[in-house]
Structure 1
Amino acid sequence: MKKILNKEQLKAHKQKLLFLGIAVLILSITAVGYMSTINKVFIEDGEETLEVGTRKETVKEVLKEAEVDYIEEDRIEPGLNTSVVDEMTIEVIRAQNIKIVDEDDTQTLLTPVSTVEEALIEAEILIRPDDKVTPAMDVALEEGMEIEITRAVPCEIHVDGEVIELMTTKDTVEEVLNKADVELEEKDKINHDLEDAIEEDLTIEIIRVEKEVITETEEIDFKTLRKNDENLDKGKTRVDKEGEKGLKEYEIQITYEDGEEADRKVLSEEVTKEPVNRVVKIGTKAPKPEPAPVVSRGGSEATRSLRVEATAYTSQDPGVGNITATGERLRHGIIAVDPRVIPLGTKLYVPGYGYGIAADTGGAIKGNKIDLAYESRSEALRFGRQMMTIRIYD
Structure 2
Amino acid sequence: MLSLGLLLPLGSGSFADRIANTVAAVADPGPAKHVTLIRDGVSETLATHAPTPDALLAERGVLRAADDALSVAPQSPLTDGETVSYRAAVPVTIIVDGQTRQLRSAAPTVGALLASQGVAYDRHDELAPAPAAPLENDVVVNVRHVDAWTETVRNAIRVPVVKRFAYTLPAGKSQVISAGHAGIREVRYSVARTPDRRATRRTLLLARVLRAPQARIVAEGVGEYAALAHFAERGIAGTLRLASSALSMVATAYTASCGGCTGTTASGRPAGHGVVAVDPAVIPLGTHMYIPGYGHAVAGDTGGAIRGNRIDLGFNSNAAANEFGRRPITVYLIK
**Normalised TM-score (structure 1):** 0.30
Larger gyration radius, structure 1 or structure 2: 1
**Normalised TM-score (structure 2):** 0.35
